[in-house]
Amino acid sequence: MRPVQAAKIFAAMASEPRLKILAYLSKSTMTAGEIAERFDMAKPSLSKHLSILENAGLISSVKKGKYIHYSIVEEHIVNTLDGYLQSVCSVRGPLRQESAAKAGTEPGGAGED
């Protein structure tokens, strides 16, 4: 990993809202509106957080109709490590469970890592 890319990843991970976004996206894709419903922040601020995560290669986006759907880049090693941390974190663990419920998988079930 190049130093510039590493700096982008660490900068992206250095924000509580961005860590929560990663937890929400851990088991399901979401639109910006669905993510925004879970935060008390202005839409431009949320857009900036999503952009930082995408520029770091941690999430990807696909436009479907008039909505942009965001998902985690599961193959990224940082997301693998972050997934483990979500499973033991008292704050982000419930967000991961909410994401699993939205995706139709139960934590600890067949769809769980």
CA pair distance 100, 84, nearest whole angstrom? 14
For the chain, domain boundaries:
3-103
Query: Which of the four pLDDT bands, split at 50, 70 and 90, describes residue 58?
Result: very high
Over residues 96-102, the mean pLDDT reads 82
Three-state SS for 70? strand
Query: What size, in residues, is the chain?
Result: 113
Whether the per-residue pLDDT at 12 is higher than 70: the answer is yes
CA pair distance 14, 69, nearest whole angstrom? 23
- Whole-number average pLDDT of the chain: 83
CA pair distance 97, 87, nearest whole angstrom? 9
Whether the per-residue pLDDT at 83 is higher than 80: the answer is no
0.85 cut: is pTM over it? no
Whether the per-residue pLDDT at 111 is higher than 50: the answer is no
What is the CATH code of the structural domain delimited by 3-103?
1.10.10.10
